Amino acid sequence: MSKHSFSLLFASIFLLSACSNDSSNSTNALDATSEIETSVLSDRSIKVGIDYHSQSNPEQVLVTHVSLDLTVDFESKTLSGTAELEYNKQNPSADTLILDTKELTINRISNDQGELSFTLDNDGSILGSALRISLPETGNKVLINYTTSPQASGVQWLTPAQTAGGEHPFLFTQAQATHARSFIPLQDSPQVRVTYDATIRTPKDLIAVMSASNDPNAERDGVYEFNMPQAIPSYLIALAVGDLQFKAMGERTGVYAESYILDAAAAEFADTESMLIATEERYGPYSWDRYDLLILPPSFPFGGMENPRLSFITPTVIAGDKSLVSLIAHELAHSWSGNTVTNATWRDLWLNEGFTTYLTYRIMEIVYGTDRYNMEAVLGYQDLEADIERLDSSDQILAIDLRGRDPDDVFSNIPYEKGALFLREIEHAVGRDNFDRFLTEYFKKYAFKSITTDQFITHLSSTLLVEHSDKLNIERVNQWIFEAGIPENAPMPESDAFSLVDTARSNFLDGSLVASDIETNNWTVHQWLYFLNNMPEKLSVENLTSLDESFSLTTSKNNEIAHSWLLISVRNWYEPALPRLYEYLTTIGRNKLVKPLYRELSLTEKGKELGRKAFAQAKPGYHPLTVKANEGFVE
């Protein structure tokens, strides 16, 4: 969106919000007017497009560029230096710029005319502290000198011992959803897009990389320059510092990693370039120049993070057989859905994740075939069903109400798999080619914009709902977006490759087939996961032992298979697997893999004791998000 239309929209919204009873400490919408027209089914008190997770005031003063000069200090675990923010006054008489911060120490704020006065709220809420800077009548830049806290929620500092390489310290940031404010004072809302540049000063033996232009041949002199010329939301600003090496995988793709894992990563993800080409052929050109991967230490709390030009990736998917590379397809797909077309608020997260999950399946099908597509879709559907069983109905809604809540606390498969299933239903109704055309147009129309669920519905209403009125209707669309659960007659993924696994499992369970006679030679990792994930809650010691002896499940090197097996082992307190469980919990910090194990352990006293012990040992190396997500299970 051009700055021109931005300011017009903001001006009209300012008038709107002035007469609403909305709290003044929320960021206003790009297009709040759509609420009145379309959001009939959601809670009327939710202001569509209002960012309830930012206290900043872009409708008054809009930050458009951030220029960083930061020194990385592993001793004090701080980033310190300056952020220069360029702004446009949307309201000419505005005299205050409000930014989001979290545990930052603000040393000094100035512009080219001298010092500027400011106040920093003393607020410990999930939103952090609003920083209010008094602006002069003229000028368009402020220079903020600041230092981060060693406990910054968006920065993880690892000692050499806490990395898998073991020799050098490592630092990485994770800004989504609301943690950019813990390392940069800015307007921390996905509807504010900024360009940025940065100078990062590191110890001489380490290099810095960012979600920006990276130079693999940069001289290792401890000073690194970056530029991100495309406007991105703050949650996509990212930095990592470590003893990194680079290896090219294709013309536009490569991998950064510590040397111990560089070759394995480049081999595992060798199909990245093919994925990029396949996605471009279907959904239009890639907008971000290069697409590189950064392999993080095992404590990274997510599978991946779609930081533009440089996705951050957990090493736990390096399995040696490309079985878990759908994660790469997912992060790559975000280059279209998420990074190019962005959710305007965290309520609209499904626009990022549902579209991306849908694209992931499609990319995997193009590169690896329909069998794999079907298997992954079934596993995804089962994850969704499990969440629906577990979650309150209000948390099963795509356009979720997050007011007063930390978006991190509501992480589930709903925006991902339910969002993707909804799009799959539309695809089935209108036909694949028509839907692909629709998506390509959608990515083009909203490129570099941040949009709300209601804007998406309005767009759908004027396109596919008109062109295919015999097959689609708004009631069904609203049911998917605003109601709990999976709508009746939703598409149900199926896989022939899983039917024979079902047969094997039931024959094993009724005793007609012993484990060692199950024909597993040609099974894929997905078939193994399906085999294990659908075992009954309770298994006998004999069954557990024969499975383990026949298939060496306790020592599986595949982190997903190990996860499924360890979950079964906890449920049934299968003691031979417990040392492996302990090792798993203390060497991996990826939340998706450890959280279900801690949750299951918390259900019994002896489980809780083991969980407590593992957690205490692992905690110094866990990311703050992983600590927060699991500490309740070990209290």
Q: Which pair of tokens denotes residue 383?
A: 């994850």
Closest approach, Cβ 255 to Zn ion, in A, equals 19
Is there a contact between 103 and 148 (Cβ–Cβ < 8 Å)?
yes
Task: Return d(Cα 470, Cα 139) in angstroms, integer.
Answer: 56
The three-class DSSP label of residue 512 is coil
Q: Report in angstroms how near the CB of residue 334 gets to Zn ion at its nearest.
A: 6
Q: Tell me the site size for Zn ion, rule CB under 5 A.
A: 2
Which is closer to Zn ion, CB of 101 or CB of 307?
307
Q: Concatenated DSSP letters for 425-478?
A: HHHHHH-HHHHHHHHHHHHHHTTTEEE-HHHHHHHHHHTHHHHTTTT--HHHHH
Which region among 226-234, 350-358, 462-470, 562-570 touches Zn ion (by CB under 5 A)?
A: 350-358
Catalytic residue among 331, 376, 425, 600: 331
Stretch that binds Zn ion, among 20-28, 348-356, 359-367, 604-612 (CB under 5 A): 348-356
CB of residue 353 to Zn ion, shortest distance in Å: 5
CA distance to 75, 198, 243, 297, 313, per residue, from 171 (Å): 12, 16, 10, 9, 14
The yes-or-no answer on residue 52 being catalytic is: no
Residue keyed to tokens 């991306």: 356
Length of the chain: 635
Q: Is 306 considered catalytic here?
A: no
Nearest approach in angstroms of CB 91 to Zn ion is: 35
Rule CB under 5 A: which of 178-237 touch Zn ion?
none
Which of the following is catalytic: 416, 446, 584, 598? 416
- Other CB atoms within a 10 A radius of the CB of residue 483 amount to 14
Cα separation, 634 vs 581, in Å, equals 15
Q: Which is nearer to Zn ion, 13 or 328 (CB)?
A: 328
Q: With respect to Zn ion, which residue has the nearer C-beta, 175 or 581?
A: 175
Interface region with Zn ion, contact rule CB under 5 A, candidates 240-248, 356-364, 365-373, 620-628 = 356-364
Using the minimum distance from each CB to Zn ion, give the nearer residue, 60 or 176. Answer: 176
For 170, list phi and psi in degrees, rounded to 5.
Answer: -145, 145
Q: What does each C-alpha distance from 42 to 87, 94, 422 come to in angstroms? A: 34, 33, 18
Region near Zn ion per CB under 5 A, out of 68-76, 287-295, 354-362, 485-493 = 354-362
Find out whether 294 and 310 touch, Cβ atoms under 8 Å. Answer: yes
At 599, list the tokens: 């949750």
Q: How far is the CB of 286 from Zn ion (least distance, A)?
A: 17
We find the least distance from the C-beta atom of residue 307 to Zn ion, in angstroms, to be 11
Measured from the CB atom, is 302 or 633 closer to Zn ion?
302
Q: For Zn ion, which is the closer residue by CB, 59 or 353?
A: 353
Residue 91, CA distances (Å) to 66, 95, 97, 470 in order: 20, 9, 11, 46
The answer to whether the CB of 148 falls within 8 A of the CB of 73 is: no
Least distance between Zn ion and beta carbon 53 (Å): 18
Least distance in Å: CB of 236 to Zn ion? 12
Closer residue to Zn ion in complex, CB, 327/577: 327
Q: Which is nearer to Zn ion, 336 or 528 (CB)?
A: 336
Contact map string, positions 305 to 344, toward Zn ion, x by CB under 5 A: ----------------------------------------
d(CA 542, CA 371): 33
Exposure letters 412-438 (e unless 16+ CB within 10 A, then b) = bbbbbbbbbbbbbbbbebbeeeebebb
Q: Identify the burial level of 459 via C-beta atoms within 10 angstroms of its C-beta, where 0-12 means exposed, 13-18 middle and 19 or more buried.
A: middle
Q: Which residues here bind Zn ion, judged by CB under 5 A?
A: 353, 356
Residues known to be catalytic = 331, 416
